A and B are shown apart, each in its own frame.
Chain A
Amino acid sequence: MKTTLSYLKPLRRLAVLLPLWGGAALGLGGFLMSCETIIDANIASGPTQLAVDAWLTDQPGEQRIKLVQTANYFNNGPSTPATSASVVVGDNAGRVFTFTDPDNDGVYTWKPAKAGDTTRVGIIGRTYTLGIQYLGNTYVSAAQMPRATSLDSLIFRKKTITPVSKEEGYRSEFYAVDMPGAVDYYYLRYYRNGVLQNRPQDISLAYDGAFRGSANTDGLTFIRPIRQSLNPEKLFALSDTMRVEMRTLTAEGYLFWELLRSQLQNAGLFATPPANVPTNIRNTTAGGPSAVGFFFVSPVRTRTAIVSKETLRGGD
């Protein structure tokens, strides 16, 4: 059992998923005495489905697609790999990439024929198709690789973790400018000293550099709450290295992450009813077993900075 003072955690989602809610948590948690208890639960499994974990990028080198079978929600052991599938990716320029799984662990890989070959699978603007043959069924998916913007700078400011805390550290703020002319969808994550941070609140999403359904921010600098959204409750120390990674998504891909993030952050008074994340994987036979998961092709942009005199700024 864990007693939580951060009663307002769920409010972040409520506030159009604002990640910077430190202030509002003030005081409330203290007198509400709310509490989360981990309980024993079991639930009947639904039918087993093929699950696709595919996120191809424009980075050179190996690309992977992981296929597993869905399991009972509380099965926390290793998942059952979907082996002996045939996995092929093609683009609209006629290139074909065959993914193979020689060690039968459900991880299908493609790598350039020889080392030093800088062939990239993902190229901005191209359309990609994924074909999977598995247990007599054919699954297909199509995805466009969206355009990308650059991460222009990354700076840090001295802060306390929350307004009520005395613990000081450095909060990051990255700068990027949204691309004008169309809605762009961004997924952001970061590495602290080389380690990917993956707490539920470490996933940041942006819609034209702001929140979905907020103002028309097309073409603007990312708005401040997004710029400062990456490490709200886990500040950096001097000399820490931060690497920010930005991937752009399609509209449906953004929805996938938005719903997945709400599964991760579900808590408290304003918990949302569970919603299935969308899938772009389709069984070619209507009425055949459906698959879950997603096929993404994204450009990846990064920026790395060390918390030091050069990157420190004053103010808020």
Chain B
Amino acid sequence: MKQRVQTTLLTCFLGLFVLTAVAQDKLTVSGYVKDAANAEGLIGVSVYSKETGTGAVTNNYGFYSVTLPKGTYTFVVTYVGYQRQSRTVELADKDVRLDVEMTEEGRELQELVVAARREDDNVKNIEMSVNRVGIKTIQRIPALLGEVDVVRSIQLLPGVSTVGEGATGFNVRGGSIDQNLVLLDEAPVYNSSHLFGFFSIFNPDAVKDVKLIKGGIPALYGGRIASILDVRLKEGNAKKPEINGGIGLIFSRLSYERPLFKGKGSFIIAGRRSYADVLAQPFLTGNLKGSQFYFYDLTAKANVRLNEKNTIFLSGYFGRDVFGADFGFNWGNATTSLRWNKVFNNKLFLNTTAFYSNYDYSLDSDLRRKPENTNDYFRTNAKIVNYSIKPDFTLFLNKNTVTFGGQALLYDFQPGTATAASAGTIRTFGLKSKYALESSLYIGNEQQASTRIQLQYGLRYSFYQYLGPGEVYTFGPAETPGLRSRPLLGTQTYAAGETIKTYGNLEPRFALKYELSPSSSIKLSYNRLAQYVHLLSNTTASTPLDVWTPSTNNVAPQLADQVAAGYFKNFGGGDGNLFEASVEVYYKSLQNQIDYIDRANLVLNKYLEGDLVVGQGRAYGAEFFLKKNKGALNGWLSYTLAKTERLVDGVNANRWYPTRFDKRHNFNAVLLYDPQARPDGSRSRWNYSATFTFATGTPATFFSNRFDFENIAVGTNAENVRNNYRIQPYHRLDLAATLQGRKRPGKKKEDSWVFSVYNVYARKNPFSEYYRPDPTNLSQTQAVRYSVFATIIPSVTYNFKF
């Protein structure tokens, strides 16, 4: 099967090369589009010829390519928030290289910060179910404790929700948090949070572009079934050195960027550290000395343009959370990606990425490694490591943009080792690493089929091998499904490199855009996605200590099929692009969704697979989005009506039940306000922003009955129902105001103060509700509502730039 697929794909590739050779009497204009201020490549810039109205959009590296018949053309280069440029190019006898630098529009022009690509991108682009949020918008959204946050910001988009504030990760269209592929310069990040889920790991000073793909996922992407969060880092200012920084209540930030090799390259290095512990240090004496309580991250990226055709990028992220005095734990991600952009000719572009990603955590009963504890301690740790190489080709043809490539991804799951020392005896116990190789090949094409119809279609084939060495278990059917562990039938040992189990999945992708009019379009999409890793959690909200586990002989890969349809319309303003509106509906069917029996022990349990139960899921909903791009007041409104359910054998009496993150209604408003210039032309140094969120309460399971054991009230869920109750709705208003510092003539320094208020009307929003015995009298029962932020939280942040 695999052989045949590979052959087919190869034939397709070859066919395409033949196609390119045919187009002889046409010539190509290609190049990079960059920001004039710092030479950052700009993603998604529209480059089109005035004469023919055809053109291209720059890719993730700022590269574009347009092929036209011989002649003289005026190319218009437009990008939201930047001054429009036009260049005249003569295509006489050879292809033309045209690199463009764009200048940001001044504030006088009522720059809009809600980034879109082209002004009519909403309607004209075939992409659906995609949201882009510019880092400038993210920086304007009122932030918890003043800390600008990528993940919290995307939760304001339609189709995105969270179990509760402070929970790790986010849920997209009924997917669980492990179903999002979070990419940091193409390397996957396994935990996108600091401090459980309160802050995300992305340093806003180092982020350039954030794109969330919820549906119509192109063949280029694979490996996760709900969404792709593609975070691209800044390349660093290639024109002049720059320092950015900020002082907030939680973090302090500092970044430095500068040109390299006389402007042929640049780098940026950005760090953040929390400092509650630093401030507390003088008060930590005696017992407390050496208490650790901090988190930090370091993001760095460098690029070198070797010549016109070759550019190399190296990006890295390292972050860690450490908590504890005696007993403590720490966790963190590290990623490194090396990318090579090669322009073979003006039609063929290659990006090759090699990456390494590591996520690990550990618990330690003796975080400070006190000398008196050398004979008595307890430590445990676990990690997941990835190595991958991934070539991605883009072939720019007339009316077609073909992407093809592949990926090899090696997983090393280290489910955990524990070391216990007791009275001088040291014992180590661990589960062996599990290895897997995920390989994929894909090809996709974006085709302008007619003036009104644009198509995007592709196929991805993923092939997964669960590899030895390892001990493999087989389990019999459970006596009572969903309640009892499956009995162990046998154990088999595999040697290193031996294939234990393979899975292959064909993942078709399809999207269609039909332009009803210049200002409206309808779009349809279908995609199938396969995912070979699973995150197991036994708490209602995910924790940093949840267990990543591979697909094995006992655990099949997760699969999702999604169809989505949408209507897109722009209206208002002089050019008809003042407002962008869209309505999308989706239906998603999910297979091999993991649940586990109630008493499953997820930690260091070698028979864990016998405690897992597998079910199916379904999610459907409608998303409404209205965005205003310009004017003193801009921002967006989003509303999502959704339902997310699961069906698991033996759970909830074999009936569908809502998932923990099912939210019927979810409404968000983001408003940004820049006061108009005064009649004398001067401007206020203040600008303002507000967000409002409303969401239906999440479902919860409660005990129905009680009995006493040893004078303790014991709860029972007599009919074993799941998520039979809904907690109170969630709503919250946040405000922020930014004061720009006075600009001194001749000085480079810019600064600003950001004042923000989180949870303005101090609502005690429920994070969860639960029933339990009264801690002061265990024979009495009580119902408890837990609120994470039960009060109003004001904050102030100072930002500077040199």
- Say yes or no: A267-B784 contact (C-beta < 8 A), given A214-B420, A216-B427: yes
B326 with A14: CB separation less than 8 A: no
* Residue-wise interface mask of A (256-295) relative to B, using a CB-CB cutoff of 8 A (1 in contact, 0 not): 0011100110111111111111100000000000001110
Chain B residues within an 8 Å CB radius of A213: 418, 601, 603-605
B717 with A35: CB separation less than 8 A: no
Chain A residues within an 8 Å CB radius of B276: 27, 31
Chain A interface SS verdict (over half): loop
Q: Does A164 contact B (CB under 8 A)?
A: yes
A15 with B363: CB separation less than 8 A: yes
A49 with B718: CB separation less than 8 A: yes
Q: Does B306 contact A (CB under 8 A)?
A: no
8 Å CB contact of A36 from B167, B705, B706, B786: B786
- Say yes or no: A255-B599 contact (C-beta < 8 A), given A215-B429, A223-B376, A269-B767: yes
B540 with A46: CB separation less than 8 A: no
- Say yes or no: A41-B771 contact (C-beta < 8 A), given A28-B323, A51-B707, A53-B710: yes
Chain A residues within an 8 Å CB radius of B495: none
Q: Does B288 contact A (CB under 8 A)?
A: yes
* Residue-wise interface mask of B (407-437) relative to A, using a CB-CB cutoff of 8 A (1 in contact, 0 not): 0000000000011111101011100000000
Within 8 A of A (CB), among B174-190: none
Within 8 A of A (CB), among B763-802: 764, 767-773, 775-776, 778-791, 793
Q: Does B349 contact A (CB under 8 A)?
A: no
Category for how many chain A residues contact B: 35 or more
Q: Does B598 contact A (CB under 8 A)?
A: yes
Chain B residues within an 8 Å CB radius of A200: 773, 775, 778
A316 vs B166: C-alpha distance when bound (angstroms) = 34
A51 vs B714: C-alpha distance when bound (angstroms) = 10
A270 with B540: CB separation less than 8 A: yes
Q: Does B340 contact A (CB under 8 A)?
A: no
Among the 9-residue stretches B27-35, B113-121, B364-372, the one with 4 or more Cβ atoms under 8 Å from chain A is B364-372
* Residue-wise interface mask of A (24-67) relative to B, using a CB-CB cutoff of 8 A (1 in contact, 0 not): 10111001111111111101111111010101000000000010
Q: Does B313 contact A (CB under 8 A)?
A: no
B324 with A23: CB separation less than 8 A: yes
8 Å CB contact of A55 from B365, B429, B710: B710
Chain B residues within an 8 Å CB radius of A308: none
Chain A residues within an 8 Å CB radius of B60: none
Among the 9-residue stretches A69-77, A96-104, A122-130, A134-142, the one with 4 or more Cβ atoms under 8 Å from chain B is A69-77
Q: Does A238 contact B (CB under 8 A)?
A: no
Q: Does B761 contact A (CB under 8 A)?
A: no
A274 vs B603: C-alpha distance when bound (angstroms) = 19
8 Å CB contact of A276 from B167, B420, B598: B598
A33 vs B767: C-alpha distance when bound (angstroms) = 13
- A95 CB → nearest B CB, Å: 25
Q: Does A199 contact B (CB under 8 A)?
A: yes
Report which residue of A16, A75, A199 has the largest number of chain B beta carbons within 10 angstroms of its beta carbon.
Answer: A16
A38 vs B703: C-alpha distance when bound (angstroms) = 16
B775 with A316: CB separation less than 8 A: no
Q: Does B461 contact A (CB under 8 A)?
A: no
- A178 CB → nearest B CB, Å: 9
8 Å CB contact of A43 from B423, B710, B725: B725
- Say yes or no: A70-B418 contact (C-beta < 8 A), given A15-B329, A34-B788, A221-B425: no
Q: Does A212 contact B (CB under 8 A)?
A: yes
8 Å CB contact of B372 from A163, A216, A260, A315: A315
Chain B residues within an 8 Å CB radius of A3: 790
- A80 CB → nearest B CB, Å: 10
Chain A residues within an 8 Å CB radius of B769: 39, 41
A264 vs B423: C-alpha distance when bound (angstroms) = 31
B373 with A73: CB separation less than 8 A: no
Q: In the complex, what residue of chain B is closest to A50 when comparing beta carbons?
A: B707
A43 with B702: CB separation less than 8 A: yes
B770 with A76: CB separation less than 8 A: no
B419 with A75: CB separation less than 8 A: no
Chain B residues within an 8 Å CB radius of A215: 378, 380, 418-420, 427-429
Chain A residues within an 8 Å CB radius of B538: 272
Category for how many chain B residues contact A: 35 or more
Chain B residues within an 8 Å CB radius of A270: 196, 539-541, 543
- A316 CB → nearest B CB, Å: 6
8 Å CB contact of A68 from B377, B418, B427, B707: B707
Within 8 A of A (CB), among B695-712: 700-712
A210 with B714: CB separation less than 8 A: no
A221 vs B422: C-alpha distance when bound (angstroms) = 6
* Residue-wise interface mask of B (588-612) relative to A, using a CB-CB cutoff of 8 A (1 in contact, 0 not): 0000000000110101110000000
A160 with B287: CB separation less than 8 A: yes
A209 vs B420: C-alpha distance when bound (angstroms) = 10
- B323 CB → nearest A CB, Å: 5
* Residue-wise interface mask of A (213-236) relative to B, using a CB-CB cutoff of 8 A (1 in contact, 0 not): 111110011111100000000000
A33 with B287: CB separation less than 8 A: no
Chain B residues within an 8 Å CB radius of A266: 770, 772
B770 with A73: CB separation less than 8 A: no
Q: Does A311 contact B (CB under 8 A)?
A: no
Q: Does A312 contact B (CB under 8 A)?
A: no
Q: Does A18 contact B (CB under 8 A)?
A: yes
B782 with A38: CB separation less than 8 A: yes
B422 with A274: CB separation less than 8 A: no
- Say yes or no: A274-B710 contact (C-beta < 8 A), given A36-B786, A46-B704: no
B706 with A264: CB separation less than 8 A: no
8 Å CB contact of A24 from B277, B323, B429, B784: B323
- B381 CB → nearest A CB, Å: 12
Chain A residues within an 8 Å CB radius of B510: none
- B240 CB → nearest A CB, Å: 38
Q: Does B720 contact A (CB under 8 A)?
A: yes
8 Å CB contact of B327 from A18, A68, A71, A220: A18
Q: Does B328 contact A (CB under 8 A)?
A: yes
Q: Does A179 contact B (CB under 8 A)?
A: no
Within 8 A of B (CB), among A115-166: 159-160, 163-164
A294 with B709: CB separation less than 8 A: yes
Q: Does A108 contact B (CB under 8 A)?
A: no
- B23 CB → nearest A CB, Å: 59
A274 vs B781: C-alpha distance when bound (angstroms) = 14
A210 with B706: CB separation less than 8 A: no
A224 with B327: CB separation less than 8 A: no
A200 vs B774: C-alpha distance when bound (angstroms) = 9
* Residue-wise interface mask of A (154-188) relative to B, using a CB-CB cutoff of 8 A (1 in contact, 0 not): 00000110011000000000000000000000000
A263 with B773: CB separation less than 8 A: yes
Q: Does B545 contact A (CB under 8 A)?
A: yes
Q: Does B716 contact A (CB under 8 A)?
A: yes
Q: Does A190 contact B (CB under 8 A)?
A: no
Report which residue of B377, B598, B764, B767 has the largest number of chain A beta carbons within 10 angstroms of its beta carbon.
Answer: B598
A62 vs B785: C-alpha distance when bound (angstroms) = 42
Q: In the complex, what residue of chain A is closest to B376 when comparing beta carbons?
A: A224
* Residue-wise interface mask of B (273-298) relative to A, using a CB-CB cutoff of 8 A (1 in contact, 0 not): 00011001000101110010100000
- Say yes or no: A269-B541 contact (C-beta < 8 A), given A53-B708, A74-B783, A216-B427: yes
- A94 CB → nearest B CB, Å: 29
Given contacts A36-B786, A41-B702, A316-B326, 6 further A-B contacts (CB under 8 A): A33-B789, A68-B707, A71-B705, A74-B783, A223-B420, A274-B702
26 pairs from A and B in contact (CB 8 Å cutoff): A15-B363, A20-B327, A21-B327, A24-B323, A24-B329, A27-B280, A34-B789, A38-B785, A41-B771, A46-B717, A69-B707, A75-B706, A76-B780, A163-B284, A163-B325, A209-B422, A220-B420, A220-B422, A225-B327, A263-B714, A263-B773, A270-B196, A274-B701, A274-B702, A274-B717, A275-B598
Interface residues of B (CB under 8 A from A): 145, 166-167, 195-196, 198, 249-250, 276-277, 280, 284, 286-288, 291, 293, 323-329, 363, 365, 367, 370, 372-373, 376-378, 380, 418-423, 425, 427-429, 538-541, 543, 545, 598-599, 601, 603-605, 660, 700-712, 714-720, 722, 725, 764, 767-773, 775-776, 778-791, 793
- Which A-B residue pairs are the 8 nearest by beta carbons? A46-B718, A23-B325, A51-B707, A35-B790, A41-B783, A215-B420, A224-B376, A275-B598
